[in-house]
Structure 1
Amino acid sequence: MRNVTHAAVLLGAVSLALPLGMPAANARSSGVEKTLKAADTDNDGSIDLKEATAAAEALFDKLEKDKDGTVDTKELQGRVSKKDLKAADPDNDGTLDKKEFLALVEQRFKAADPDNDGTVDAKELKTAAGLALSALLK
């Protein structure tokens, strides 16, 4: 009876823990799928730099609400850390113009493409570098 009780407690704990861990994995997969669906215009299952740039340009235009030609920390909505913003901002004005934003996208694209095949697939998008790239595409 004691073993049955321990087994029931263990099974209950596992069943409670599974749903808690699932959303994060599903969210990551869902985010990757959304990025691929939005950016993979030739539907080959991967994103090349041209597709990434096109998606990033569209996002920049959407985020740039005050129409001053730049995006600031508020407009970026957490997509870029303060440290990354500073590194991507050579004129040190606290904002990114479209050219600076696209340079950051290219840098993140290269980081997300460790095999240097010129594309980023779903597996690569699930990495930390891929997720950082994804944040600038959707």
Structure 2
Amino acid sequence: MSLRVSSSFAALALAFGVLSAPAAYAKPMSGASAIKMIDTDNDATIDLKEVEAVASATFDRLEKDADGTLDAKELKGRLSKAGLKQADPDNDGTIDKKEYLAAVGARFKAADPDNDGTLDAKELQSPAGKALLALIK
């Protein structure tokens, strides 16, 4: 099992830019590619638990100053100014991991128009799905 976790983590790291070129140079990820990287139970869809695992790792990677929050600079354009304001209910100008995961959850829900609790490649290719992928890459 640990080999699979390590391989899955390496695949996620590569897919979401941890070990690759800066985001500005990264090619947009297709829905099918995202499914392959995130789908740990291999059911050809991703659920919120799988997305939250990637989002949590993304938060940790982005959080450079060890203050437990992300500011606009650390987010590197993943949220617009309005998106950051919406994700920041305490209006402190930063988002903590709980707020970040809430924003991810909201984007997941927006990308799930059939409300089945999973996203397939087609749903990830929608504008809402692409917005979700932008936040977790």
| TM-score above 0.5 | yes
Alpha-carbon RMSD: 1.3
How far does residue 130 in structure 1 lie from its aligned partner after superposition?
A: 0.2
Residue 71 of structure 1, CA deviation? 0.6
Q: Is residue 100 of structure 1 aligned with residue 99 of structure 2?
A: yes
Residue 40 of structure 1: aligned partner: 39
- Aligned residue runs from structure 1 range 109-124, under 5 A: 109-124=108-123
* Counterpart residue number, 1:136: 135
CA drift of 1:35 comes to 2.3
3-state SS of paired residue (2:85):
helix
Report how far residue 37 of structure 1 moved. 2.6
- Structure 1 runs (4+) greater than 4 angstroms displaced: none
**SS of aligned partner of 1:135:** helix
Q: Which letter maps to 2:69?
A: T
User: What per-residue deviation string (whole Å, max 9, x for no partner) do you get for residues 42-70 of structure 1?
Assistant: 12111101001111001000010111100
Partner of 2:124: 125
Instruction: List runs of 5+ in structure 2 lacking aligned partners.
Output: 1-26
1:111 Cα deviation from its structure 2 partner:
0.3
Report percent identity of matched pairs. Answer: 65
Report what 1:52 is aligned to: 51
Structure 1: any 5+ residue segments left out of the alignment? 1-26
Contact 1:39 1:137 in 2 (8 A): no
Question: For residues 34 and 71 of structure 1, do their structure 2 counterparts lie closer, same or farther at Cα, with a shift above 3 Å needed?
Answer: farther
Contact 1:72 1:94 in 2 (8 A): yes
Q: How far apart, CA to CA, are the structure 2 residues paired with 1:102 and 1:66?
A: 19
Please tell me whether Structure 1 or Structure 2 has the larger radius of gyration of its CA atoms. Answer: 1
